[in-house]
Amino acid sequence: MLARVWSASLLGINAIRVGVEVDVSGGLPGMVIVGLPDAAVQESKERVRAALRNSGFSFPMRRVVVNLMPADLRKEGPSFDLSIGLGVLAASEQLDTTHLENYLFLGEVSLDGVLHPVSGVLPIAATAQRLGFKGIVVPQANAREAAVVTGLQVYGFETVAQVAEFLQKPEAVQPFAPAPTPSDRESGSLLGALDLKDVKGQAHARRALEIAAAGGHNLVFVGPPGSGKTMLARRLPTILPNLSLGEALEVTKIYSVAGLLKERGMLIQSRPFRSPHHSASGPALVGGGSFPRPGEISLAHHGVLFLDELTEFKRDVLEFLRQPLEDGFVNISRTRQSVSFPAQFTLVASTNPCPCGYFGDSVQACTCSPRQRESYWAKLSGPLMDRIDLQVSVNRLKPTELTQVSEGEPSQPIRERVLAARTVSHDRFKEEPQLHCNAQMQSRHMREWCRLDEASRQLLEAAIQRLGLSARATDRILKVGRTIADLAFSQEIQATHVAEAIQYRTLDRMQ
């Protein structure tokens, strides 16, 4: 007898429906799985055989063929265990198939028939809702995560036997109804008690941080050890607005696919902050693997990617960032498939000015030779630095600043100014829903919203000639100027706004 059960497979951060066809026929006893299964799917036949026997069912002592369609799509992971097991029961006439077509099934089974959670449930549930399935059946631990999708009945069970009993009479079981839970923001998961009031001095760097938050601009801090570069960068999320519902769903889908959703069923509502070590490889940073998975830049989607000790990263790894910084997504191509992961993040980096860290310092002399400094900065290519809007020199704190008792300006009032500036930009972008901040503007947007008066134009032209700015760097000055104008609630970009934007492109490397 032939039976079909519906499941799903991930492709990037989206899901594709997978039909699990099971045929039980005469022949030598055995089980074969076809349809490009990986090792974990191949091993499911042993898990399923033991799980069914230990759940009170009999495994057919006949030839069992399992086909996963579409056959040209690579299937991976243990999430097909439940659907394969149900297909075997239906094909061997141990399970009523009346309601089988109405639901999509996911779950890993253990040898005793207990269902274990799997990753990627949220995008799969969204696909099930879009395709018109009546409901989705998942392990109990995944039920809250699937219930994030509205308009879809979610059923969570702990064992295969419970799922089989449910299929005999689905109307007797109520769908999962999640109890209200605090958001990750309310539960205090956002970077603990970090606050900008802890940062002493550094008014120039704090201003740059505020501009970066208001416009989503990339930022690099350059200064000697102990000047507060990392301390400033780690406090950027405290002045960023919370995610919108659409953004929160996108971010949560990425973390679900990556298996990093710590609280299943809780939307991620605060901006992600990712800080990979400088030993990270290219695939770890941008994503990859035999079966592509999101990397750090996608995990930082709609949030912050912090690269501490930027010049310690390998040059070829940093070059991977160039295309995502420009396009907002990354394409990963493999022989059998190509996937795209979103990567609209704000890059924040910090680095020392030279190998010893004290070039240009007012107190400690630099011990590096010009050749060493040139080699040190050679890891950062011109095209990469062109994509960093704000390049800020962070100097050693003065003795009076180090000993001051009073606190700096807290994050909350700065965050309110950032929210006000973002509101201005959102009103401007109301006809362009794909734009979330000024840094994402394209040339056609800039022609409309970044017009300069005569004084501002002359100032910018002089800066282009004196500093040798590229077309990309010029565009980024205009975007930063637009953000500075928004912070000042000015409809027009004035000469003072352009002048301030230019000063963030004049970082003196002194190689």
Burial of 466 (0-12, 13-18, 19+ CB in 10 A): exposed
Predicted pLDDT of residue 162: 95
Do 196-503 and 2-172 fall under one CATH topology?
no
- Antiparallel, parallel or unpaired: β 219-222 and 346-351: parallel
Predicted pLDDT of residue 263: 65
Name the residue ranges covered by the structural domains of the chain. 2-172, 196-503
Q: Are 508 and 393 in contact (CB under 8 A)?
A: yes
Peptide bond into 70 cis (omega under 30): yes
Per-residue pLDDT 10s for the chain (511 aa) are 899 999 999 988 889 999 999 999 988 899 999 999 999 999 999 999 999 999 999 999 999 999 999 998 889 899 999 999 999 999 999 998 888 999 999 999 999 999 999 999 999 999 999 999 999 999 999 999 999 898 899 999 999 999 999 999 899 899 998 766 555 444 444 445 788 888 888 889 999 999 999 999 999 999 999 888 999 999 999 999 999 888 999 999 999 998 887 666 678 888 999 999 999 999 999 988 777 889 999 999 999 999 999 999 999 999 999 999 988 899 888 766 788 899 999 999 999 999 998 898 888 889 999 999 989 988 898 889 989 999 999 888 877 777 776 777 899 999 999 999 999 999 999 888 888 899 999 888 998 899 999 999 999 999 999 988 889 999 999 999 999 999 999 999 999 999 999 999 876 444 4
Residue 473 CA to residue 467 CA, distance in Å, equals 10
Predicted pLDDT of residue 313: 93
Topology (CATH level 3) of domain 196-503:
Rossmann fold (3.40.50)
Strand order across the 273-274 sheet: 273-274, 304-307, 346-351, 219-222, 390-393
End-to-end CA distance of the chain: 75
Residue range 2-172 in CATH 3.40.50.720: no
- The pTM of the full predicted model, rounded to 2 decimals, is 0.85
CA distances (Å), 283 to each of 93, 142, 465, in order?
Answer: 47, 28, 39
